[in-house]
């Protein structure tokens, strides 16, 4: 059925045969761009046409993701590359997404050749609004096929359209398809394999005049006997529940708790399993290799360093599974609607809510999840404040220091104990820093352009396994590539710092290593915070990941222990005053001590500029706050 | 230039009220977008065009944002944006549910 060889529609093919594909001008495969409004099913069509043969990158210098893939033709072979462009409503380059789409279509994007053809995908159940986009796209003069998606929903809800009539009005092929079910795609394959014809629409409006464009689209709809479908009944019923003043809020709270629970506790067994596997394979490797410096490097930097980050993979995948279900089903838009009023108070919007919530587990997946925020300034603000949320990597550090310095006493009867209160206080501290930073950013450098908050509430749909699977695969690939590059290199560098220079052919004690020297060098800088050089080494080593400081301090004191080890706590009390301990907690609450986060921010923002600003800002804030905390507590303690 | 089509020709003649004052389950005809050019164009692209009928379907829990039905799709706007959109008060009618 999908052979793509319907004889009638292939009448253009002979022309193609006379100009064979081996013509010397074409050294690269043809490039076809998929364009369409948000929620029209662009990515579904892209996934349907390319399958797993796709790769994701960022456009240089911007936060917009670039997805390119090879078309998988059923049966026949062909060389066509597809590029999935950001969703747009118009071709006026106002937002960053629209700028990227416009430059690619006009051949002005440096890294992308000008497309040879365009697939314009529109939602057939929403044609009154979506058909307007055909005007600016057709006036580009590129070979275009108009794909009307959601044919199944149109049919089920009693709508109809005369595809042939619309095609003759637009002067371009039109296909009525269901991208999610894969039906009606033959004309799309024919378009991709056949000769590309330039569209010849019977009329085009002045594309900058919105009402004229709408009239044009409406006229076209009438001539194509477009009959809009009945409203989605189930969506109405579900919205009455999910947006109910009482039940809606309760369901929202349940979903939030569920997400939190899954990424915090639900992921734990899987993370333990990965951890156990990393440990076990490390042991196997250790046993099978002769003792040497190389073995230590391999085990400690590769297995110990990068391996400790791999452990987060299950958590990241579970979070994205959740986000995928919420997004594909349509609930995410409702959640954003409910959260919007609260988020608006700090200058953000509803869509920032889920990423910020997941930042309590780990800032890395949270920052990856900000992709759902279309407004680039809101997205950037969310990325910049996410690392202030108390992530799980801070917990071992907090636990160690609180346990070492704060006796556990009942504070509010049996309900609240001092240590719990201190931990809660640190959560609040991070949250307040995030809110204050959001306000600061949104009232200054990231003040939103006058783009109003508009949220489209798509009909509810069942998420498909294929779409969820591709999403998870994609995120896993992105994460593993980063572990294999940035995080691995940093782990190796930190390991070398702790093991060089060699003393008489042996590794030095950590005090005499480069890291130790560095710790001593920065001692004058961190002394005003009440830290000595040992804490300094800890700070440097925890750049890899915050919790590494616990192990490093153990190494320095010659104690094999974790955060609950009493001897490590005792050793720490020798080196840190109470005021210094408070300062260290404050420092960890604010500082961006995490290479993975820096790497993911660089990737998501398309350059070093934002991670650099963020690092300087957070470290500066951490330093100043820790300084104030140290001075105040020292003074209060006399 | 864009100012010229932010306003319906009949704008000066009809009594208007704000879109934010529409009750849930009612629909009305948009008369004018009292917003800067860029914003107005953006909203017009989405269907908030003078002459078009929009209905308030419901509000988010807490009363803001507002969910409108425009051209068969549902779009949410914040109350302060809706306040800048004028509707023809005489065109207000109950939304017929099919």
Q: Give the ipTM.
A: 0.88
Q: What burial class does residue A495 get, using C-beta atoms within 10 Å of its C-beta: 0-12 exposed, 13-18 middle, 19+ buried?
A: buried
Tell me which residue in A126, A249, A340 faces B72 most closely, judged by beta carbons: A126
Verify that A401 and A458 share a domain, yes or no. Answer: yes
* DSSP state, residue B28: E
Last residue of a domain, one of A168, A190, A223: A223
The pLDDT assigned to A332 comes to 85
Q: Are residues A385 and A519 in the same domain?
A: no
Peptide bond just before A501 cis, omega within 30 deg: yes
Q: Could you tell me if A67 and A132 lie in one domain?
A: yes
**Do A216 and A252 fall within a single domain?**
no
User: How close A625 gets to chain B, by Cα (Å)?
Assistant: 37
Residues A162 and A81 in one domain: yes
Distance from A36 to chain B by nearest Cα, in Å?
A: 14
**Residues of chain B positioned with their CB less than 8 A from the CB of A455:** 65, 75-76
Give the number of domains in chain A: 3
- Residue B70 Cα, gap to closest chain A Cα (Å): 9
Residues in chain A: 638
Of the candidates A340, A342, A434, A436, the residue with the CA atom closest to the CA atom of residue A390: A434
Question: Does residue A327 form part of some domain?
Answer: yes
Q: Choose the mutation target among A230, A254, A336, A454 for the interface with B, i.e. most B CBs under 10 Å.
A: A454
Per-residue pLDDT at A120? 96
Q: Which residues of A touch B47 (CB under 8 A)?
A: 128-129
Q: Report yes or no: B38 at the A interface, CB cutoff 8 Å.
A: yes
Q: Are A445 and A27 in contact (CB under 8 A)?
A: no
pLDDT at residue A588 tops 90: yes
Distance from CA of A513 to the nearest CA of B (A): 58
Is the same domain home to A219 and A74? yes
CB contact under 8 A, A210 and B98: no
- Name every residue whose Cβ is closer than 8 Å to that of residue B7 and which is 6 or more positions away in sequence: B31, B32, B33, B50
> A204 and A251: one domain?
no
Nearest to A210 among B49, B57, B75 (CB): B49
**pLDDT(A535) > 50:** yes
- Inter-chain CB proximity B42 and A452 less than 8 Å: yes
pLDDT digits (tens, 9 = 90+) for A368-415: 878 767 778 888 999 999 999 988 778 778 888 888 888 888 877 777
pLDDT at position A621: 95
Most confident of A93-97, A264-268, A312-316: A312-316
CATH of domain B2-94: 2.30.30.90
A4 pLDDT band, cuts 50/70/90, is very low
A22 and A100: one domain?
yes
Pick from A310-324, A395-409, A510-524, B1-15: least confident: B1-15
- pLDDT: is A28 or A465 the higher one? A465
What does the pLDDT look like over A38-94, one tens digit per residue?
888 888 899 888 876 666 665 655 556 678 888 877 766 668 899 998 888 888 776
Task: Say yes or no: A272 contacts chain B, CB-CB below 8 A.
Answer: no
Instruction: State yes or no: pLDDT of A481 exceeds 80.
Output: no
DSSP secondary structure letter of residue A576: -
B41 inside 8 A of chain A by CB: yes
Query: In the prediction, which pLDDT does A302 show?
Result: 78
* Nearest partner of A196 among A207, A188, A204, judged by Cα: A188
| Residue A206: partners with Cβ closer than 8 Å, 6 or more residues away | A212, A213
Q: What is the CATH number of the domain that holds A150?
A: 3.40.50.300
Say yes or no for a CB contact (<8 Å) between B42 and A451: yes
Per-residue confidence band for A327, with pLDDT thresholds at 50, 70 and 90 = confident
A195 & A251 share domain = no
Inform me whether the pLDDT recorded for A605 exceeds 90: no
Domain that holds residue A526: 500-636
The mean pLDDT value of chain A amounts to: 82
Give the pLDDT of residue A494.
77
Residue extents of the structural domains in chain B: 2-94
């Amino acid at each position: 059925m999908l052979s793509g060889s319907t004889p009638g529609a292939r009448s253009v093919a002979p022309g193609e045969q006379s100009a064979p594909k081996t013509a010397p001008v074409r050294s690269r495969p043809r490039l076809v761009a998929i364009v369409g409004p948000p929620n029209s099913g662009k990515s579904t069509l892209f996934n349907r046409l390319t399958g797993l043969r796709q790769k994701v990158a960022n456009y240089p210098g911007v936060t917009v993701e670039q997805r390119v893939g090879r078309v998988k033709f059923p049966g026949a072979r062909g060389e066509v590359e597809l590029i999935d462009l950001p969703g747009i409503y118009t071709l006026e380059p106002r937002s960053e997404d629209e700028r990227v789409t416009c430059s690619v279509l006009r051949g002005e994007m440096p890294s992308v050749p000008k497309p040879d053809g365009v697939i314009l995908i529109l939602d057939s159940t929403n044609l009154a609004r979506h058909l307007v986009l055909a005007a600016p796209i057709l006036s580009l003069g590129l070979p275009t096929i108009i794909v009307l998606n959601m044919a199944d929903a149109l049919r089920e809800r009693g709508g109809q359209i005369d595809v042939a009539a619309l095609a003759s009005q637009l002067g371009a092929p039109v296909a009525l398809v269901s991208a999610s079910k894969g039906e009606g795609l033959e004309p799309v394959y024919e378009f991709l394999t056949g000769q590309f014809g330039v569209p010849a629409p019977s009329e085009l409006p002045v594309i900058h005049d919105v009402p004229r464009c709408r009239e044009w689209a409406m006229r076209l709809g009438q001539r194509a006997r477009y009959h809009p479908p009945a409203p989605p009944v189930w969506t109405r019923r579900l919205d009455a529940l999910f947006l109910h003043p009482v039940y809606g809020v309760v369901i929202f709270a349940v979903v939030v708790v569920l997400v939190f629970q899954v990424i915090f506790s639900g992921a734990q067994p899987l993370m333990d399993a990965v951890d156990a596997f990393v440990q076990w394979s490390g042991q196997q490797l250790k046993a099978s290799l002769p003792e040497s410096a190389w073995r230590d490097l391999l085990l400690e930097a590769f297995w110990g360093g990068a391996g400790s980050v791999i452990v987060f993979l299950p958590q990241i995948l579970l979070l994205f599974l959740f986000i995928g279900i919420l997004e594909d089903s349509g609930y995410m838009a409702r959640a954003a609607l409910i959260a919007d009023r609260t988020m608006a108070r700090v200058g953000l919007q509803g869509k920032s809510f889920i990423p910020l919530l997941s930042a309590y587990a780990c800032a890395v997946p949270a920052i990856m999840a900000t992709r759902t925020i279309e407004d680039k300034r809101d997205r950037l603000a969310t990325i910049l404040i996410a690392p202030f949320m108390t992530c799980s990597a801070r917990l071992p550090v907090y636990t160690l220091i609180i346990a070492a310095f704060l006796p556990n006493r009942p504070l509010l009867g049996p309900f609240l104990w001092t240590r719990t209160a201190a931990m809660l206080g640190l959560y609040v501290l991070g949250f307040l820093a995030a809110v204050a930073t959001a306000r600061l950013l949104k009232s200054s450098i990231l003040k939103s352009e006058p783009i109003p908050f508009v949220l489209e509430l798509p009909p509810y749909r069942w998420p498909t396994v294929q779409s969820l699977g591709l999403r998870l695969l994609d995120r896993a690939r992105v994460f593993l590539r980063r572990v294999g590059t940035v995080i691995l290199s940093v782990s190796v560098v930190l390991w070398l710092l702790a093991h060089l220079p060699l003393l008489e052919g042996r590794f030095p004690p950590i005090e005499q290593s480069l890291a130790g020297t560095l710790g001593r060098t920065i001692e004058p800088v961190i002394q005003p915070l009440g830290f000595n050089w040992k804490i300094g080494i800890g700070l440097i080593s925890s750049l890899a990941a915050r919790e590494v400081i616990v192990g490093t301090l153990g190494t320095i004191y010659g104690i094999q222990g974790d955060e609950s080890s009493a001897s490590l706590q005792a050793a720490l009390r020798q080196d840190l005053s109470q005021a210094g301990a408070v300062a260290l907690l404050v420092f960890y609450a604010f500082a961006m001590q995490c290479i993975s986060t820096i790497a993911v921010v660089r990737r998501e923002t398309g350059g070093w500029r934002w991670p650099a600003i963020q690092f300087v800002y957070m470290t500066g804030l951490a330093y100043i706050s820790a300084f104030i905390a140290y001075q105040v507590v020292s003074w209060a303690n006399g | 230039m864009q100012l010229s089509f932010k306003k319906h020709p009949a704008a000066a003649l009809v009594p208007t009220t704000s879109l934010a004052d529409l009750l849930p389950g009612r629909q009305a005809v948009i008369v004018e977008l009292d917003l800067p050019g860029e914003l107005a164009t953006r909203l017009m692209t989405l269907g908030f065009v003078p002459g078009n009928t929009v209905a308030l379907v419901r509000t988010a829990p807490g009363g803001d944002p507002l969910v409108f039905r425009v051209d068969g799709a549902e779009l949410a706007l914040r109350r302060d944006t809706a306040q800048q959109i004028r509707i023809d008060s005489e065109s207000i009618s109950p939304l017929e549910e099919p």
